[in-house]
Amino acid sequence: GNSVTQMEGPVTLSEEAFLTINCTYTATGYPSLFWYVQYPGEGLQLLLKATKADDKGSNKGFEATYRKETTSFHLEKGSVQVSDSAVYFCALSVLFGSSNTGKLIFGQGTTLQVKP
Amino acid sequence: NAGVTQTPKFQVLKTGQSMTLQCAQDMNHEYMSWYRQDPGMGLRLIHYSVGAGITDQGEVPNGYNVSRSTTEDFPLRLLSAAPSQTSVYFCASQRTGFNEQFFGPGTRLTVL
């Protein structure tokens, strides 16, 4: 079946530290991969995405590369800020039917806390 | 555009009560879905719809009903609430052929 596994949190870092949140997936076919972010008290927002192998998604200093050989999509940021404190979800999209629209399958989420 | 809106933001129910969580989007998206978010489990798909008049079950549909009479609205009904349905519920919409889903702000439901 299709599934997403993220590293367990919480992750606590000091400001300006390097961030990696691991994400691996299992999927049939060729899924699209996503990172969503959820700030406290809010809904989910798309952070970045990649639709095929070796694609790199990037946004707001965050990056993730679609690695088909290792079935991974790890999230990285070179220098985190306090404002990056949030819950981060890795997800994959599996197309269904002929609608070219995908269902999202989420990992369990990783809480990031950045301290000044 | 208001995007995806959900009402109410918070709700407390007693076991056995029924209620409807409202979801609306003004982006003319064909695809809409409902998720529940529970600690340590990420978001799990409850029901989804690929267009008006078409709905289908997701991963955890038991205890929930949906209908899609218009493109804009996708309400989620709890017929007889149970404590196991205490969760945060998110509605999302997506334009057919595009990858991004847009999420509402969520409804926090507590069933006593």
pLDDT tens digits, one per residue of B33-86: 999 999 888 899 999 999 999 999 998 999 999 999 999 999 999 999 999 999
Looking at the DSSP bridge assignments, the partners of residue A37 are A45, A88
CA pair distance B68, B57, nearest whole angstrom: 13
Question: How far apart are the CA of B79 and the nearest CA of chain A, in angstroms?
Answer: 25
Contact between chains at B100 and A49 (C-beta distance less than 8 A): yes
Residue A99: both structure tokens together: 């609608």
Mutate to test the interface with B, among A104, A110, A111 (most CBs of B within 10 A): A104
Question: How far apart are the CA of A115 and the nearest CA of chain B, in angstroms?
Answer: 23
Exposure on the CB side of residue A86, measured as CA atoms within 13 A? 19
Provide, as residue numbers in chain A, all residues whose Cβ is less than 8 Å from the Cβ of B105: 42-43
Say if residue A101's pLDDT is above 70. no
Say if residue A97's pLDDT is above 70. no
How wide is the angle at C-alpha A96 spanned by C-alphas B88 and A94, nearest 5°?
Answer: 65
CB B27 within 8 A of CB B100: no
